[in-house]
Structure 1
Amino acid sequence: MAKYYSETIAMRDRIARLKDDLFKKMPEIESARARLITESYRMTEGEPMITRRAKAFLHILQNIPIIIRDEELVVGSTTLAPRGCQTYPEFSYEWLEAEFDTVATRSADPFYISEDAKREIAEADKYWKGKTTSELATSYMSPEAIRAIDHNIFTPGNYFYNGVGHVTVHYDWILAVGFKGIAAKAKKALEEADFGDADYAKRSHFLNAVILSCEAAIIYAERYSDLARKMAEKETDAERKRELLQISENCANVPANGARSFWEACQAFWFVQQLLQIESSGHSISPGRFDQYMYPYYKADLEKGAITREFAQELIDCIWVKLNDLNKCRDAASAEGFAGYSLFQNLIVGGQNAEGLDVTNDLSFMCISASMHVMLPQPSLSIRVWNGSPHDLLIHAATLTRTGVGLPAYYNDEVVIPSLMSRGLTLQDAREYNIIGCVEPQKAGKTEGWHDAAFFNMCRPLELVFSDGMENGELVGIHTGDVAQMTTFEEFYDAYKKQMNYAISLLVNADNAIDVAHAERCPLPFLSGMIEDCIGRGKTVQEGGAIYNFTGPQGFGIANMADSLYVIKKLVFEEKKLTLAQFREALAENYGKGLPASKTAQVVAETVKELRAAGKQVSPEEIAAAVAQLTKPTDKYDKLLEMIEEVPKFGNDIEEVDAFARDVAYTYTRPLETFKNPRGGMFQAGLYPVSANVPLGAQTGATPDGRLAGRPVADGVSPSAGKDVHGPTAAANSVSRLDHYIASNGTLFNQKFHPSALSGRAGLENFVALIRSYFDQKGSHMQFNVVSRETLLDAQKYPEKYKHLVVRVAGYSALFTTLSRSLQDDIINRTEQGL
């Protein structure tokens, strides 16, 4: 017992120091990758793009600076600085150059960048003019789609400016046979190909690129093996010397070959996770079912006495810290939507195997414990729940939830599995699903899901109904008629559906343009070597090499739209308390509460444009007076706001309202699934916002549910903040009545509890019962914040006291003090429930 106690204390001390080292300074942007990829591309002009990508990957891994941080047991860092990031000019670069002088002071996810790095990145960027995926994607988009993006109807910025990511590879392949095994598979496919095959030219270059990428990964690991050995030669502490020698031996074997031990399996896993980031900058590269593919190595070591459970736990904890070392810099607008330096690396435990048997094991519990030990946002831990889930596992998960870290998220096998089967997955593959990024289910190693492909704001088409498709003098939507002439609710609702259908088609156009651009300019041979059946088909994932191909853009604002349309139905068409024309006026004037700056500028610009088009001049004084009038609050519409407040809202277990919300959700989910993508797959809807409901809400006018212009729109499928007033069970009952099956790219349901609600064993039991009840009613996902409003307000006021406070944002957790003020306010304003 004494030895166990000392080992545990030593373990926790190491993890605490590794964790503290990550946060000693602001994350830093480094320039090595930008310089190296540019050097390689200059040397490979005229060669096939897939070959250039593999050679660039090799050049980067041969030359990028490497480091082993103090006390690390699992090694490999993308940057010298903790939590630093490289840049990826092949996708886009102009936004970063424009923000060189502001990136360190912006409100969301600031990064330090040295003057030397600025110069080196700017010099490399000169090569990329006209060569990026973002430029090619823009050239493929229709003018109408570009106009819709400019007017914030939707944004495909995630893949427009960056790599795709959003994938789980065959980690099990690398653990079993290493990259030598993957290369051998590609060599065999190349030997079996015939020179006369119609696709031989592309197939052969792809297979050779996979082989070269595997060799690059092996060389990179050998560099770490050499570094660890040299560090060991100089190390004076005997224990650390032993660790470094073992790290050197580990890196000499993996990921070149199959793992021989649990420690080697951990190291091999990490190299894959890190190198996928170096290749493509994609976020949401998710470890998936870590407890399943790692378990055989843990079990074998334990049975032969080669490892203790305590040291295995320490290795897992070290991986958890490393997952927080990876980082990326986004443009300022995107940083607001993904605030919290999150990479959305979703790791899931529990659930079933292909035969439908529960496969919870010791590592399932240890993964949950690791999140308790590390208390950081990554990995974005999730748990699969079904009627065969061990109760002890759920109680252990609930104990983690009670810490307030916002982990884990809970997923319902009884909904996710059939929803995936409805999209073409086999029963066996669907049973083995994992979660990508925020809430998106897929089968690991077989899927190119393009999850999180765009944010679609369902409130904006409603604005276009009231304006007959016009905004700032431009036709942004389609003409659906003057609302003042609409005589039935069905006519009004039909106009909304028409605006929705048109906007969805433009979203598809934009996504498909970006999809094609990635296939042409940034194919990924390293990633593709670990996805079925790219080697067999001779195609990258970007060209359709995966078994399953989807595109999954997400809609949000369900609750706002359900409440808004229900209010109009009740107040205008049933109770006839006002007309649509009067409602249009109230919305335009933001219910008399003064327009926020973003909407004021828009309205003034539109008015000035109209007056000048009519030959009238507008003085600066007149513009200033107009701005003052627009921002001046009045009580003109207070009675209307009171009437709106009295109309029942989604989230209170009222079947009529909930049925209405279900139908509103269909206006996004059903049209979307009729479209195809360039990889031969289908579009599938998600209903979740990441955190874009806050910045995109800032660009959205007032809505008929009483929401004021510029305020956040509802997140995911959750009720609007403060509108679910009858407790957590009522809210869960309402959300469960949505059709979660058709939103097969994931739904997101947030709830917030005061810590007292989960106190004691009874609190945990009640909490698990709530989850079970919601899942029994066919809800798909739940996630929780367990933190008091007072704590969050204090953290806003004294951030230095709360530097390690982690909260649930949307489909991910983040350090509260790193979030923008507007996103912090959104979390604070969510309804605080009790059990």
Structure 2
Amino acid sequence: MGLYTYSTADIPKSPRITKLVDNLYAKMPEIEAARAVLITESYQQTENEPMIIRRAKAYQHILENIPITIRDLELIVGSTTLAPRGCQTYPEFSYEWLEAEFDTVETRSADPFYISDKTKKLLHEANGYWKGKTTSELATAYMEKETLLAIEHNIFTPGNYFYNGIGHVTVKYDEVLAIGFKGIKEKAEAELARIHVGDGNYQTKSRFLEAVIISCEATIEYGKRYGRLAIDLARECNDPERKKELLAIAANCANVPENGARSFWEACQSFWFVQQLLQLESSGHSISPGRFDQYMYPYYKQDLESGAITREFAQELIDCIFVKLNDLNKCRDAASAEGFAGYSLFQNMIVGGQNEEGLDVTNDLSIMAIQASKHVYLPQPSLSVRVWNGSPHDFLVKAAELTRTGIGLPAYYNDEVIIPSLESRGLTLEEARDYNIIGCVEPQKAGKTDGWHDAAFFNMCRPLELVFSNGVDKGVQLGPKTGNVEEFKTFEEFYDAYKAQMNYMIELLVNADNAIDVAHAERVPLPFLSSMIDDCIGRGKSVQEGGAIYNFTGPQGFGIANMADSLYVIKKLVFEEKKLTLSELRRVLKMNYGKGLAPEDVADTVAQVATQMAGEGVAVTDREIASIIKEVVAASESPSVKAEGERILALIEEVPKFGNDIDEVDYFARDVAYTYTRPLLNYHNPRGGIFQAGLYPVSANVPLGAQTGATPDGRLAHTPVADGVSPAAGADTNGPTAAANSVAKLDHFIASNGTLFNQKFHPSALSGEAGLDNFVGLIRSYFDQKGSHMQFNVVDRETLIAAQKDPSKYKHLVVRVAGYSALFTTLSKSLQDDIIKRTEQSSYEAVD
């Protein structure tokens, strides 16, 4: 039985919310220069001070001087930019990519931003200071040459944190709401008074605590700036209702975030200042609100019971927060924008689930968060729902009603898997029961964890290519020499070669992540963030230096389904049924099954031939290069190659695939997944924590698939690889329950950094009460089999195709991309195509 009663009655949407959303999306997002100019000014003035103090003073200088605004109709205030959905830049992490894209960022296919000539000039002047001082430059210096080579050849990419801040955290919102930054400042002051000048760590700890105090003072003053602005606007306002609202906003900002919140409205405002300023301190994303329905509930309950607030006004405040979460934005380089398409900041809010004692704590705010997603109908926050045996059915039906709208929200998470997986990583049972989700799908304990989730993308298909080439890529000996495939006598020899390539590349991935980790600790410690994570104040260390109680690094592997299907094809067709040789397979993969070579494939083949000729002492002239190109193209287009490609594709098509509830294939996929998840457990990071695997791609399966050759499962070169732990697109032909049964056979416990399972349904599958009940039944059935996560697109293929052809008519079409939702028309065409191609389920099988 749950602790709380709650209402599932719908609350009408306020007209204010429609206007706020329309105003937010009236123009293209814009890049602004204020933060870059201000941080540069501060750094120039603090050259010889400790880095942690420099960071605190820079944060203070930014908050004291950055332009502020209160947008029309807002009830919750605080904006990082003057332009709606605008973004600041963060040159201390990296800047070269932006300067190189000044003239293309507005017209690129994924996440374009307007940037004025004045802003370009200001940024160029500020960026000049940062040459040789960025985290990306220092991280590069710490990496081994083999690591840089692996990155260059697209085996993995740690670009997320290589060029940006970390984020991927949930702070102690509850503590800020309870005691404010005045209380946190007093904690730091008390710790500073306790330590002694003769302590071995006095120099570093005292400066860290001073930096926390400076950051708290800056945050308090920033809130008061907004209070003064609200009063100024109220004086000029002729609308009595709006004047009253502005005066209430001014009163709220006079108290929070300095002090503890006295009301639900103040709690909402204090929450928002924390959320916004975490983003302003650094360029990290996936700063996730966590269990919003839990830490906000006492303020809501108090006001509701006293009559100080109505349920309708509380809903409007939550709706306003949801709008504000879409106001935050970030500009990434063009390649990264393809992998994170949709302007997403991955701010994950999760509702429902258990408390530390194992009791269900679904409450009014759990329902109202679902309602807010319906009202606002925007990608942020990335709303999630915790599911366990004690989850109320009517709560899950309410969540299913939101899914039925097609927004791709909420995502569903299984307490019965995630809680024990976190315990296996050292959390107590009570802490694990209180988990939330970060970013896409990553579980952690709020306020105690620096999880370094999403630390890298590892393409599991690329080491398979290296097996066929004996470790050579584009003429370079990239991986170990594992032998010529033509000489392998057993499948075990082939599989061992794959594992050897994997292990070698995983160690290089670890080297890359740890190099970036050290660079962040040295150059961008974050005192504001650290003030809200245990036990940074007690340890006297920033989060970046290991101040958190739990420290992990979570890089994710993807391409599970392609790898399982590919290796199973080799096992069956080559070694068991002997219908194919590895020599034939190697040749047909190189020729892309006779479907035509892309220019990069031709260049790769030419490079290999030229390297071989040079090694044999044969001079390679331009004429010979041209001749080689001609021969390669002719060979790839020959009738014999095309016929061979068709023959082998027909053989591959007959081999069972992952996603159809076939034990032999599914348990093989489980073993393939272990080739990534198990080796990672052997490594540690500089913060004293361990590596833990995730199995999800965000949307990088599309751009990184474009860098991957043909694979033995029949996938053509440069097409997307499989999405998360989902079956390959179109391979799951036995219906949604069969697909779910297959995915559940993977070991979700070992992938404690999260797994991602996407399904797509035709809207008719969720129609009526029976449709919703069957949908909830599918989720419970999958979770009973120890699956970890599910998320859904509910949209028909024809609608997506129409939106792609005429985006102006579908501006508000939101879809589930990977671990997040986005406006469909803002995605690149390649990513749109990937979503269109996902298997569309139109009905359910019987669910037990």
- Taking structure 2 as the reference length, the TM-score comes to 0.97
1:638 is matched with 646
What amino acid sits opposite 2:92 in the alignment?
E
**Whole-angstrom CA distance in 2 between matches of 1:469 and 1:8:** 60
Q: Structure 1 residue 12: deviation in Å?
A: 2.6
Q: Contact conserved, 1:468 with 1:478, CA < 8 A, in 2? A: yes
Distance 1:630 1:798, change over 3 A: farther
Alignment of 1:84-95 (within 5 A): 84-95=86-97
2:111 is matched with 109
What amino acid sits opposite 2:662 in the alignment?
I
Task: Give structure 1 stretches of 5+ with no counterpart.
Answer: 1-6
**Whole-angstrom CA distance in 1 between matches of 2:628 and 2:118:** 44
1:392 is matched with 394
CA displacement 1:630-661 (0-9 Å, x = unmatched) = 77483331011000000000000000000100
Task: Give structure 2 stretches of 5+ with no counterpart.
Answer: 1-9
2:5 is matched with none
Alignment pair present for 1:366 and 2:368:
yes
**Whole-angstrom CA distance in 2 between matches of 1:601 and 1:379:** 44
User: What secondary structure does 2:421 align onto?
Assistant: helix
**Whole-angstrom CA distance in 1 between matches of 2:131 and 2:494:** 47
**Whole-angstrom CA distance in 1 between matches of 2:534 and 2:485:** 52
Which of 661, 676, 691 is 1:668 aligned to?
Answer: 676
CA displacement 1:684-732 (0-9 Å, x = unmatched) = 0000000000000000000000000001000110000000000000000
**Whole-angstrom CA distance in 1 between matches of 2:657 and 2:776:** 26
Q: Structure 1 residue 215: deviation in Å?
A: 0.6
Which of 789, 798, 801 is 2:806 aligned to?
Answer: 798
2:3 is matched with none
1:584 is matched with 586
Q: Structure 1 residue 579: deviation in Å?
A: 1.1
Alignment of 1:211-290 (within 5 A): 211-290=213-292
Which of 742, 745, 749 is 1:737 aligned to?
Answer: 745
CA displacement 1:432-474 (0-9 Å, x = unmatched) = 0000000000000000000000000000000000000011121
Q: Structure 1 residue 483: deviation in Å?
A: 0.5
**Whole-angstrom CA distance in 1 between matches of 2:332 and 2:627:** 38
Alignment of 1:569-718 (within 5 A): 569-611=571-613, 614-619=618-623, 621-622=626-627, 625=630, 628-629=633-634, 632=637, 634-718=642-726
Q: Contact conserved, 2:11 with 2:371, CA < 8 A, in 1? A: no
2:527 is matched with 525
Alignment pair present for 1:502 and 2:504:
yes
**Whole-angstrom CA distance in 1 between matches of 2:578 and 2:86:** 59
1:720 is matched with 728
**Whole-angstrom CA distance in 2 between matches of 1:459 and 1:389:** 38
2:7 is matched with none
Q: Structure 1 residue 209: deviation in Å?
A: 0.2
What amino acid sits opposite 1:703 in the alignment?
T
Q: Structure 1 residue 581: deviation in Å?
A: 1.1
Which of 351, 370, 387 is 1:349 aligned to?
Answer: 351
**Whole-angstrom CA distance in 2 between matches of 1:792 and 1:472:** 37
**Whole-angstrom CA distance in 1 between matches of 2:294 and 2:38:** 37
**Whole-angstrom CA distance in 1 between matches of 2:524 and 2:419:** 32
Alignment of 1:291-302 (within 5 A): 291-302=293-304
**Whole-angstrom CA distance in 2 between matches of 1:484 and 1:632:** 24
Q: Structure 1 residue 600: deviation in Å?
A: 3.4
Q: Contact conserved, 1:611 with 1:617, CA < 8 A, in 2? A: no
What amino acid sits opposite 1:766 in the alignment?
N
User: What secondary structure does 2:694 align onto?
Assistant: coil
Aligned length: 828
Alignment of 1:461-480 (within 5 A): 461-480=463-482
What amino acid sits opposite 1:94 in the alignment?
E
Q: Contact conserved, 2:52 with 2:207, CA < 8 A, in 1? A: yes
User: What secondary structure does 1:268 align onto?
Assistant: helix
CA displacement 1:271-325 (0-9 Å, x = unmatched) = 0000000001100000000000000000000000000000000000000000000
Q: Structure 1 residue 530: deviation in Å?
A: 0.1
User: What secondary structure does 1:166 align onto?
Assistant: strand
User: What secondary structure does 1:284 align onto?
Assistant: strand
**Whole-angstrom CA distance in 1 between matches of 2:149 and 2:203:** 39
Q: Contact conserved, 2:475 with 2:607, CA < 8 A, in 1? A: no
User: What secondary structure does 2:419 align onto?
Assistant: helix
User: What secondary structure does 1:453 align onto?
Assistant: strand
Distance 1:649 1:64, change over 3 A: same
1:171 is matched with 173
What amino acid sits opposite 2:621 in the alignment?
Q
1:21 is matched with 23
User: What secondary structure does 2:72 align onto?
Assistant: coil
What is the RMSD of the two structures over their aligned residues, measured on CA atoms?
Answer: 1.2
Q: Structure 1 residue 627: deviation in Å?
A: 6.8
CA displacement 1:525-579 (0-9 Å, x = unmatched) = 0000000000000000011100100000000000000000000000000011121
Q: Contact conserved, 2:451 with 2:553, CA < 8 A, in 1? A: yes
What amino acid sits opposite 1:617 in the alignment?
T
- Taking structure 1 as the reference length, the TM-score comes to 0.98
CA displacement 1:31-51 (0-9 Å, x = unmatched) = 000000000000000100000
1:4 is matched with none
1:128 is matched with 130
Alignment pair present for 1:194 and 2:196:
yes
Which of 786, 794, 812 is 2:794 aligned to?
Answer: 786
**Whole-angstrom CA distance in 1 between matches of 2:73 and 2:601:** 52
Q: Contact conserved, 2:606 with 2:629, CA < 8 A, in 1? A: no
What amino acid sits opposite 2:476 in the alignment?
E
**Whole-angstrom CA distance in 2 between matches of 1:86 and 1:608:** 46
What amino acid sits opposite 2:669 in the alignment?
A
Alignment pair present for 1:754 and 2:758:
no
User: What secondary structure does 1:782 align onto?
Assistant: strand
Which of 511, 515, 518 is 1:516 aligned to?
Answer: 518
**Whole-angstrom CA distance in 2 between matches of 1:103 and 1:630:** 39
What amino acid sits opposite 2:125 in the alignment?
E
What amino acid sits opposite 1:138 in the alignment?
T
Q: Structure 1 residue 622: deviation in Å?
A: 3.4
Q: Structure 1 residue 629: deviation in Å?
A: 3.4
CA displacement 1:104-149 (0-9 Å, x = unmatched) = 1111001110000000001000000000000000000010110000
What amino acid sits opposite 2:430 in the alignment?
Q
**Whole-angstrom CA distance in 2 between matches of 1:758 and 1:421:** 36
**Whole-angstrom CA distance in 2 between matches of 1:488 and 1:26:** 57
Q: Structure 1 residue 820: deviation in Å?
A: 0.4
Q: Contact conserved, 1:598 with 1:710, CA < 8 A, in 2? A: no
Q: Contact conserved, 1:599 with 1:699, CA < 8 A, in 2? A: no
Q: Percent identity?
A: 75
Alignment of 1:418-433 (within 5 A): 418-433=420-435
User: What secondary structure does 2:413 align onto?
Assistant: strand
User: What secondary structure does 1:691 align onto?
Assistant: coil
What amino acid sits opposite 2:358 in the alignment?
G
Q: Contact conserved, 2:448 with 2:534, CA < 8 A, in 1? A: yes
Q: Structure 1 residue 616: deviation in Å?
A: 2.2
What amino acid sits opposite 2:297 in the alignment?
Y
Q: Structure 1 residue 211: deviation in Å?
A: 0.5
User: What secondary structure does 1:584 align onto?
Assistant: helix
What amino acid sits opposite 1:718 in the alignment?
S
Q: Contact conserved, 1:451 with 1:552, CA < 8 A, in 2? A: yes
**Whole-angstrom CA distance in 1 between matches of 2:329 and 2:510:** 29
Q: Structure 1 residue 328: deviation in Å?
A: 0.3
